[in-house]
C-alpha cells in the first residue's frame, strides 16, 4: 500500500509516517516510480507506535519496543507471558516515574495557586 493508504488505515498523517520512518520505527520499500510502499503489517506497527506515543512514551522510548510493534501489544507490559523484554519494561517504569514526578510538581503548583484564591 502507498503512504496515503497507510495513513488512512492507521488513522494518522503522511507526515507522521515519514517522521516514523526517519526515526527508524517504520520501513518502506519503493515502487518503480519512487513512491513509498508498505506491507499490510505496517498498519499494526503504526497503530502500536501511536498507542505508545499516546501513552506518554517518546519516540526514543518506542525504540525499546521495536521487536513488539508488529503484533498486538499486550494489555499489560509485564503480564509475565515472555512477550516484553527487560529494556522495554525499564523504559516503561522510567516513564511512569517521570509522570509521577510531573503530577507531584503540578499538584504542588495547583495547591499554591488554590491557597491564593
Q: What integer pLDDT is reported at residue 21 of this predicted model? A: 97
The radius of gyration of the chain from alpha carbons, rounded to an integer in Å, stands at: 18
CATH number of 3-115: 1.10.1660.10
DSSP string, 24-74: TS---EE-TTS-EE--THHHHHHHHHHHHHHTT--HHHHGGGGGGTTSPPP
Q: What integer pLDDT is reported at residue 74 of this predicted model? A: 72
Residue 10: alpha-carbon gap to chain centroid: 13
The three grid cell numbers given for residue 81, joined into one nine-digit string: 507471558
Helix, coil or strand: residue 96: helix
- The pTM for the full model equals 0.79
Q: What integer pLDDT is reported at residue 65 of this predicted model? A: 85
pLDDT along the chain (117 residues), means of 10: 97 98 96 93 96 91 88 71 70 91 98 97
Dihedral angle over CA of 60, 15, 22, 47, nearest 10? 50
Cβ contact 49:57 at 8 Å? no
Q: What integer pLDDT is reported at residue 53 of this predicted model? A: 94
Amino acid at each position: 500500500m502507498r503512504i496515503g493508504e497507510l495513513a488512512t488505515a492507521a488513522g494518522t498523517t503522511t507526515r507522521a509516517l515519514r517522521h516514523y520512518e526517519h526515526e527508524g520505527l517504520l520501513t518502506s520499500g519503493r515502487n518503480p516510480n519512487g513512491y513509498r510502499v508498505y506491507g499490510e503489517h505496517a498498519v499494526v506497527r503504526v497503530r502500536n507506535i501511536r498507542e505508545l506515543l499516546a501513552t506518554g512514551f517518546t519516540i526514543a522510548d518506542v525504540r525499546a519496543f521495536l521487536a513488539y510493534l508488529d503484533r498486538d501489544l499486550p494489555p499489560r507490559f509485564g503480564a509475565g507471558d515472555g512477550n516484553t523484554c527487560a529494556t522495554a519494561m525499564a523504559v516503561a517504569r522510567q516513564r511512569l516515574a517521570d509522570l509521577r514526578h510531573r503530577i507531584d510538581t503540578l499538584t504542588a503548583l495547583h495547591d499554591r495557586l488554590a491557597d491564593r484564591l
